[in-house]
Structure 1
Amino acid sequence: DDPVEAGPAESWTDDNWFHDQGARRVRPNEGHWTLTPGLVEGRLIGGNLCTLNLLQGTPWMPDLSNAVVFIEDDLESSVKTFDRDLTSLTQQPNFDSVRALLIGRFQSQTDMDRETLAAIVASKRELAGVPIIANVDFGHTNPLLTLPVGGDVTIAAHETGPTITLSD
């Protein structure tokens, strides 16, 4: 199959769509945010950040070696909790070989914004030089980008239009 570019949706929502389709609040999408530039290829590994933290130290924690790690969190996670959980993830075996980090869009009820997220990322020396794209269409918002765990991906984290390209 041909590679597929996973670009940002034009708009998004995080309402309870299953309750009332007519009362949905659709928001314009700012697009993907490049927090740290870079160009890499790798294998996709990730999921919910809190769940990954629960797997730490067990045989079920995925191997992060040479991975493009994707993480997302829900509205129950505060800025401080996300910061702490990200720190915990960066301390895992083989995190030093992580190729890139993708961060899913935060729900509107959280206090997370681009500036706050950039400050959290900048505070982690383990993330220095790791290409990072945030505000990606996965997590607890709609539409949802499905990322193939174990699939190959190319990350081009440029200031002017970052791209995520999925391949076999």
Structure 2
Amino acid sequence: MFPKKPLTKGSHIRVLSPSSSIHRLGGFEANLAAKERLEALGFHLSFSSHYLVPADALDSVPIADRVADLHEAFADESVDAILATIGGSNANELLPYLDYALIAQNPKILCGYSDTTALLNAIYAKTGLVTIMGPSYSSFKMVEGQPYQTASWLAATSLASYDLTPSPEWSSDAWYDPSLPRQFFPTTWKVYAHGRASGTAIGGNLSTFGLLRGTPYAPQPDRYVLFLEEAESDDYIEFNRHLAAILQAYPDPQAVLIGRFPKECQMTEETLLYILDKHPVLKTIPVLYDLDFAHTQPLFSLRIGAQVTVDTSNLSIRFD
């Protein structure tokens, strides 16, 4: 099931915080550049009722407040799309308390990345609604790389077919602090194993996606393509453990697409290939790595729950 409306100029976007609060990012005023950029694209923004509630010791607000904000956004007929503020570490706390019938009756665009992985996959699993892994509200503060990031997001939210393409260049620096220098490198998507395959896109942040294993919120499509990436807090040792666990829970992927690792993971290409070599299934299906999603910048937008076709012969990734 696709959202009822595509994102177009004049659409109303509700910004809310399913995990970390805006206070983690310095507060509302410190992030006005994101609001201004989205408004310059032609969108109307509003913020959830509990948006400015003071953050707790985990940089979040009470579960009940976050659940209420999501329900309010889905129930409000004037809201066309929902955008998460940022990731965090506890979006999975919300899953038992969500009204999935309400969400299914009001299908609309929901977008975020990182910890929002839990919400995106759970809502797809419980309702069939296609969700979008892409930039968060705070991501629109970024200047360098923003044209690529915005173009991919607009393509995904158009609800038409579109192709993922490599960014011109990428960075693993603190994009959210313009006072710090940034270093960019040419983008090269890489092939571990060749092939062509189609399936339903699931996954996202690997450690967060793993939290859904064994719960009613883990998606179970018949044929699936795994999108997997790690955040700055999980190094190559954690990736090794998390990948093994996911391939035990999802042993028959049609393809595996791996996001580029942030520098904090200390992942080298030699180490990554060593880890991939451990798993025989990865030699029999298309596997790409160093792709533009999640914790390096800029990032492309992908649809969780939608059909995707991967062809390594021309590095093609197409959502239908």
Q: Is the shorter-chain TM-score for this pair beyond 0.5, marking a shared fold? A: yes
Name the structure 2 match of 1:82.
Answer: 239
How far 1:22 sits from its partner (Å)?
6.7
Unpaired runs of 5+ residues, structure 1, are none
Structure with the bigger RCO (C-alpha within 8 Å, sep 6+) is 1
Q: Distance in 2 between matches of 1:90 and 1:17?
A: 32
Q: 1:107 aligns with which of 251, 254, 262?
A: 262
Residue 64 and residue 103 in structure 1: after superposition, are their counterparts in 2 closer, same or farther (change >3 A)?
farther
Q: Distance in 2 between matches of 1:155 and 1:106?
A: 21
Q: Which has the higher strand share?
A: 1
| Mapping 1:1-168, distance limit 5 Å | 3-20=161-178, 23-29=181-187, 31-63=188-220, 65-92=222-249, 95-158=250-313, 161-167=314-320
Counterpart amino acid of residue 263 in structure 2: S
Q: Distance in 1 between matches of 2:180 and 2:207?
A: 32
Residue 114 and residue 9 in structure 1: after superposition, are their counterparts in 2 closer, same or farther (change >3 A)?
same
How far 1:86 sits from its partner (Å)?
0.3
Residue 21 and residue 5 in structure 1: after superposition, are their counterparts in 2 closer, same or farther (change >3 A)?
farther
Q: Which has the higher helix share?
A: 2
Counterpart amino acid of residue 96 in structure 1: P
> SS state of the match for residue 81, structure 1?
helix
CA RMSD in angstroms, aligned pairs only: 1.8
> SS state of the match for residue 17, structure 1?
coil
> SS state of the match for residue 115, structure 1?
helix
Counterpart amino acid of residue 317 in structure 2: I
Counterpart amino acid of residue 185 in structure 2: R
Q: Distance in 2 between matches of 1:79 and 1:64?
A: 28
How far 1:96 sits from its partner (Å)?
3.3
Aligned identity (percent) is 31
How far 1:24 sits from its partner (Å)?
2.3
Instruction: Pick the structure with greater CA Rg.
Output: 2
